[in-house]
A and B are shown apart, each in its own frame.
Chain A
């Protein structure tokens, strides 16, 4: 797998909720090779502040147009700048980076929260194309956070929803629904991407039932290439780099959440 630096041409942005946007850009070489679970490192400005690129999971690929979609939450300087980028603007994008999901599952369940649902969206899309619509369990704080449901409509099988405040779906975290879904679903692999406490709890419950589990970790990183070692952590028996050896790991390989 080759990594590229592309001067991607932005073709559009859309608002998904008050703090989340989707940006689409033409990056043909990255689009041709990116698989679900991989990420790109985006330079939001040519200035020295913010200095570092921002790693964002690939949320979708349109191979016909050579386009990639990224879904991001507007949380700080860099994502605020990104939110103001217009169609026609160029962004330097490095990718595709890391290792993606192992898609070899007959009855997959996808569990996610927040922007963790972006890489899972691309995964669901690929699985649907390959003939398996995965079930999806998504959690948010309020109904506003679950705009994702529409994005998954048509590519997912059953969709489970939970909110902390009970404004949509079951009240509570994804853990409120997970045991029941695992009981009934006959799943052979669960794919998790979201906040660390969610991934920790979900993977423990999944592994306990003897079901395979893949998690996509998020860690602060500077280069995304395995050089800066900011995302290095202890795996089972060896040091691993989230950017290079991950971001997708088998859940049993993860010792630090």
Chain B
């Protein structure tokens, strides 16, 4: 359940994960946070969700990995990352110098491996793990689990069994019913949900008459997916009790506010980090301004205001 801290108007507590502001960063769009310290104060971000991490290093996909699309972009990075060992030894000690909760996005190729990875990351300095069962760009994990309620539940249970940290499950929009997936994750014991991951899309180079991306398809992100994300947030918020971290194309405070009104308890900024590397810090003041204008005392008072029966 969501418990709230009252000393600050923007402070939230997501299933035990205490944040000064509900504005977090989406995995894969903010590196390990350290890449952005010239542009913003990491401590003014609610939580830093780091790049998807796997047990062993991954080189990612070959060929072109990113292409811009109308008001968005497609990527097929394929979870390139230096692996959990490197993260724990090299990255985490640097991150720990900042007083900001760290959420590690995790991906694996079997429920057992998810469990092993969660256990490995059950260390001081890691505040939560976000189960990535929604990466569309790899063949041996991610979305394989995110489109089947049973296998996703297995993953969630394995992770829960192996960690003392807050467990967030990141849902894919590439399913028939996201509320069913949300309920399955909740039943399996997830502490919170984050949604949405990218939508599968593709672009074809009409001059070369072949797909642009090396992996053929990629994940669509950016403002073009925001209406889908808001709708899914709105539906999931009505179906589950666990808190939601809403994301999908948030570019400014107004966009973030839509998600709160649709029932999200926190939000994440993704693709916008590429456009404006200071964005994760600048959204919170905008939310406060809106709250002042609408006489909203604390962030909790506006969560779900647009849900049926509330408006």
Bound form: Cα–Cα A220–B80 in Å: 16
- Check A81 for interface membership: any CB of B closer than 8 A: no
Residues of A within 8 A of B70 (CB): 49
**Which single member of A4, A52, A221, A230 contacts B38 (CB below 8 Å)?**
A4
A184 to chain B, nearest CB (A): 40
Nearest chain A residue, comparing its CB with the CB of B64: A220
Q: Tell me whether A226 and B275 are in contact in the complex, defined as CB-CB below 8 angstroms, given that A48-B222, A234-B59 are known contacts.
A: no
Contacting residues, chain A, for B71 (C-beta < 8 A): 48-49, 51
B200 at the interface (CB under 8 A from A): no
When the two chains form their complex, are residues B77 and A229 in contact, meaning their CB atoms are under 8 A apart?
yes
- Do A226 and B59 contact each other (CB < 8 Å), given the known contacts A50-B68, A52-B73? no
Residues A228 and B68 in contact, CB atoms below 8 Å apart: no
B277/A220 in contact, CB under 8 A: no
B205 within 8 A of A: no
CB distance from B64 to the nearest CB of A (A): 6
Contact of B80 among A92, A222, A239 (CB under 8 A): A239
Is A223 at the interface (CB under 8 A from chain B)? yes
B31 at the A/B interface (Cβ < 8 Å)?
A: yes
Q: Which A residues between 189 and 239 are near B, CB-CB below 8 angstroms?
A: 220-223, 225-230, 232, 234, 239
Give the distance to chain B from A191, nearest Cβ to Cβ, in Å: 26
For A51, give its contact among B31, B38, B64, B223 (CB under 8 Å). B223
| A92 to B224 CA separation, bound complex (whole angstroms) | 22
Residues of B contacting A3 with CB < 8 Å?
38-39
Q: With the chains together, A79 CA to B75 CA distance in Å?
A: 22
Chain A residues whose CB sits within 8 angstroms of the CB of B276 once the complex forms? 5, 43, 92
Q: Whole-angstrom distance from the CB of A146 to the nearest CB of chain B? A: 26
Contact with A along B273-296 (1 / 0, CB 8 A): 111111000000000000000000
Residue of B nearest to A222 (CB): B274
Task: Judge whether A227 and B73 touch: CB under 8 Å.
Answer: no
Binary interface profile of B, 54-96, with partner A (CB < 8 Å = 1, else 0)? 0000011000111110111101010010100000000000000
Q: Across the interface, which residues of A come within 8 angstroms of B273, CB to CB?
A: 223, 227
Q: Is A94 an interface residue (CB 8 A)?
A: yes
Is residue B259 contacting chain A, with contact meaning CB distance below 8 A? no
Among A5, A53, A228, the residue within 8 A (CB) of B66 is A228
Q: Among B51, B82, B224, B277, which residue has its beta carbon within 8 angstroms of that of A225? A: B277
A228 touches B275 (CB 8 A): no
Main secondary structure of the interface of A (DSSP, over half): loop
CB distance from A3 to the nearest CB of B (A): 4
Indicate with 1 or 0, residue by residue over A161-173, a CB within 8 angstroms of chain B CB atoms.
0000000000000
In contact, B65 and A227 (Cβ under 8 angstroms): no
Does residue B30 face the partner (Cβ distance < 8 Å to A)? yes
* A2 and B38 contact, Cβ closer than 8 Å, known pairs A226-B31, A228-B274: yes
Report the bound CA distance from A43 to B276 in whole Å. 9
CB distance from B280 to the nearest CB of A (A): 12
Q: B278–A5 contact, CB under 8 A?
A: yes
In angstroms, Cα B67 to Cα A232, docked, is: 14
With a cutoff of 8 Å between Cβ atoms, the chain A residues found around residue B223 in the complex are 48, 51
- The verdict on A5 contacting B77 (CB below 8 Å), with A223-B274, A225-B277 known, is no
Q: Which residues of B contact A4 (CB under 8 A)?
A: 38
Asked if B271 is at the interface (CB within 8 A of a chain A CB), the reply is yes
Partner of A228, one of B75, B82, B222, B278: B75
- Flag if B271 contacts A51 (CB, 8 Å): yes
- CB <8 Å contact, B65 and A230: yes
Return the CB mask of B3-34 against A: 1 if under 8 Å, else 0: 00000000000000000000000001111000
B118 close to chain A: CB less than 8 A: no
Taking CB atoms, residues of chain A closer than 8 Å to B82 are 239
| A-binding residues in B (CB < 8 A) | 28-31, 35-36, 38-39, 51, 59-60, 64-68, 70-73, 75, 77, 80, 82, 222-224, 251, 271, 273-278
* 19 pairs from A and B in contact (CB 8 Å cutoff): A48-B224, A48-B251, A50-B68, A51-B222, A52-B68, A53-B274, A92-B276, A222-B75, A223-B274, A223-B277, A226-B35, A227-B29, A227-B30, A229-B28, A229-B60, A229-B80, A232-B60, A232-B80, A239-B82
Q: Could you list which residues of chain A lie within 8 angstroms of chain B, going by C-beta atoms?
A: 2-5, 43, 48-53, 92, 94, 220-223, 225-230, 232, 234, 239, 244
